[in-house]
Amino acid sequence: MQIDLSGRTALVTGSTQGIGAAIATGLARAGAHVVVNGRGAERVEETVRTIRAETGNENTTGAAGDLATEEGTRAVLDAVPRVDILVNNLGIFGSAPALEISDEEWRRYFEVNVLSAVRLIRAYLPGMTEQGWGRVLNLASDSAVVIPAEMIHYGMTKTSLLAVGRGFAKEAAGTGVTVNSVIAGPTHTGGVEGFVRELVGDELPWEEAQREFMIKHRPQSLLQRLIEPEEIANLVVYLASPYASATTGGAVRVDGGYVDSILP
């Protein structure tokens, strides 16, 4: 399958590292004009240079802005007034005892993980429907379905994203625009490495620490390993392509079989 996204502009939020950077790289490799986003301009430009070098796609640019704020969102919208593909990847996570999560933390997680996506969909969806083609993809998580006891505030936001995706898919019904959520499983990123260390300690070598984390904290995984960011990106690139024209309103899993259900 040859996916050609030439002529399409894609904005990937929170794409200076991890899954977001892998998605931006995958879309650039497919020929899209990719816009990298992060809070700091220097980090964004560094990622742009890396993606150009890895893919040969010089049509990769950046738009710095903190999308958890209205001001940061406005800066990105001013820089990128119209997109064909919107990937809402921005998100934060961390462990905390359920009864110790403050009101402030609940609000922060909602602002970053949910409202940032809602703002951008609200801004970009009209242009997509007007042209009769577009892709909106929200990066959810297995935690949306299997709420982790150690981070229920994170799980709540990912469940919310599934609702956001389904609702906006109905708003875009019949327009040629698709809206989907991607349920990603436990993925090997720098942030997750830190999270694994929080739970299993710093003493073990990484491979052993990863194995212990999966056995003790994610035993449902059928892969029995962390997923690589590129594996998430492969599904996102497909869903962003014309080949996925009949997939909308869905919660598509790339979770390594973690969610023990036929449907999400």
Distance CA 171, CA 148 (A): 31
Sheet holding 177-184, edge to edge: 60-64, 33-38, 9-12, 85-88, 134-141, 177-184, 251-254
Residue 205: CB atoms within 10 Å: 8
Choosing from 154, 238, 243, 258, the catalytic residue is 154
Does residue 258 have an active-site annotation? no
Q: What is the 3-state secondary structure (H, E, C) of the chain?
A: CCCCCCCCEEEECCCCCHHHHHHHHHHHHCCCEEEEEECCHHHHHHHHHHHHHHHCCCCEEEEECCCCCHHHHHHHHHHCCCCCEEEECCCCCCCCCHHHCCHHHHHHHHHHHHHHHHHHHHHHHHHHHHHCCEEEEEEEEHHHCCCCCCCHHHHHHHHHHHHHHHHHHHHCCCCCEEEEEEEECCECCHHHHHHHHHHHCCCCCHHHHHHHHHHHHCCCCCCCCCECHHHHHHHHHHHCCHHHCCCCCCEEEECCCCCCCCCC
Q: Are strands 9-12 and 134-141 parallel, antiparallel or unpaired?
A: unpaired
- Catalytic residue numbers read 154
